[in-house]
Structure 1
């Protein structure tokens, strides 16, 4: 803020204000003049208990600064399947034995179709299937409200990790570009009892 000279009328008003005030008592004046030292503790940062997954009916937690956050799933350290097969799958070298395309379906249509497809594939002894969700509708630049795109892309991995599909699914990962890239998932199924 720049300091400018006061006009005569402003200076007169300031003089009236300063003469009409009473000085603080000595103790309060000293306390106001000396800033309090900042004490920093050398302790471990506060640990927060966050739920491991954000599910239906759970609430978002607040950070110490009052910001609302939603817990993010922790990334897997290693895949649930053997490393060699996982590497081949991620590079697109394995060919899926079956595929389902959920493009254009609503959530109410896609969930039963996906459940039926996964359980049927599992009972047939398939190991690798491809679930095509699509990337979602493109964002409308003229839409006044930003919207999340790709509801199926977000929901399908959650469905695959919930009952009854979690008993058949060993691992889920994004497909190689040759099989759909960001708009598809590889679903590696467990071995059936007879395989």
Structure 2
């Protein structure tokens, strides 16, 4: 029964991806209200160093989804505070939806918003990947 629930949740998540509202140059941005404003500003400016990085370029959505879940779980397990996820902009690739919007960028945005351990995320500064990458601030793992 748990497996069926998990599969139903995945199907619902993938169905939501069909809307694909974000475009290649759109900024990804999310913040939990509990995050102090100073930390949020530092993240947006790229002043918090990413301790690990995941590059999803060229992957299909199903593989990228699985790798991102594992990456975030592993990062939290190892007590990392900030990570970078490179999703690309979706220009000139096969990884665009029926409306021409970048699939991986939209997948990353939706997944990060649903993860309880994600305090905030913001598109990286230009020197760190710009709108083709996102810096993710993670909550500390509870003992």
| TM-score normalised over the length of structure 1 | 0.53
- Whether the aligned pair in 1 keeps the contact of 2:81 and 2:138 (CA below 8 Å) is yes
Deviation sequence 1:20-62 (CA, Å, 0-9, x none):
xxxxxxxxxxxxxxxxxxxxxxxxxxxxxxxxxxx747xx9xx
- Whether the aligned pair in 2 keeps the contact of 1:161 and 1:169 (CA below 8 Å) is yes
Q: What's the C-alpha RMSD, in Å, of the aligned pairs?
A: 2.7
After TM superposition, list the pairs within 5 Å mapping 1:23-102 onto structure 2.
Answer: 56=15, 80-102=34-56
Other-structure match for 1:160? 112
The change in CA–CA distance for 1:158 and 1:91 in structure 2 (over 3 A counts) is same
Structure 1 gap segments, 5+ residues each: 1-54, 61-69, 140-145
Q: 4+ residue runs of structure 1 moved beyond 4 angstroms?
A: 75-80
Deviation at 1:168, TM superposition (A): 1.5
Other-structure match for 2:78? 124
Deviation sequence 1:64-99 (CA, Å, 0-9, x none):
xxxxxx9xxxx8797542111211111122110111
Structure 2 gap segments, 5+ residues each: 1-12, 22-28
Q: Does 1:172 align with 2:121?
A: yes
- Whether the aligned pair in 2 keeps the contact of 1:80 and 1:171 (CA below 8 Å) is no
The change in CA–CA distance for 1:104 and 1:123 in structure 2 (over 3 A counts) is same
Q: Aligned partners of 2:102, 2:59: CA distance in 1, in Å? A: 12
Deviation sequence 1:128-149 (CA, Å, 0-9, x none):
110100000239xxxxxx8413
Q: Aligned partners of 2:142, 2:121: CA distance in 1, in Å? A: 21
Q: Aligned partners of 1:101, 1:80: CA distance in 2, in Å? A: 28
Larger radius of gyration: 1
Higher helix share: 2
Higher relative contact order (CA 8 A, sep 6+): 2
Q: Aligned partners of 2:100, 2:123: CA distance in 1, in Å? A: 19
| TM-score normalised over the length of structure 2 | 0.70
Deviation at 1:116, TM superposition (A): 0.2
